[in-house]
């Protein structure tokens, strides 16, 4: 991960992760495997934080996104009530 670092917990952990990978003599294949796990964790955690910000209303487009989600939920509810298996 070579993106620009800020002061958030995810970017701070990225710096520590990069140091960790350089500190130990992992094979290239092992580093790739570890990095794939770390990348999955990072993406999941970032998605969680964005979703949390949307739900608490602090995300810039939260109102629009929540409105779309509510409309979709209402449509699904109507389809279920009509007997459709979803």
Q: What is the DSSP string of 33-56?
A: HHHHHHHHHHHHHHHHHHHHHHHH
pTM for this prediction: 0.62
Percent of the chain with pLDDT strictly greater than 70: 94
2 located within any domain: no
> Comparing C-alpha atoms, which of 69, 65, 64 is closest to residue 77?
69
Indicate whether 1 belongs to any domain.
Answer: no
**3-class SS of residue 75:** helix
Is 13 contained in some domain?
yes
The answer to whether residue 42 sits within a structural domain is yes
Counting the structural domains of the chain, the total is 1
Domain span holding position 13? 9-81
Q: What is the tens place of the pLDDT at every residue in 26-62? A: 999 999 999 999 999 999 999 999 999 999 999 999 9
């Amino acid at each position: 991960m070579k993106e620009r670092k800020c002061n958030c917990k995810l970017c701070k952990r990225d710096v520590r992760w990069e140091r960790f990978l350089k500190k130990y003599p992992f094979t290239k294949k092992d580093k790739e495997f570890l990095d794939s796990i770390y990348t999955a964790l990072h993406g999941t955690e970032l998605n969680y934080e964005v979703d949390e910000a949307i739900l608490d209303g602090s995300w810039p487009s939260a109102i629009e996104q929540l409105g779309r989600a509510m409309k979709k939920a209402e449509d699904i509810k109507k389809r279920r009530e009509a007997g459709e298996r979803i």
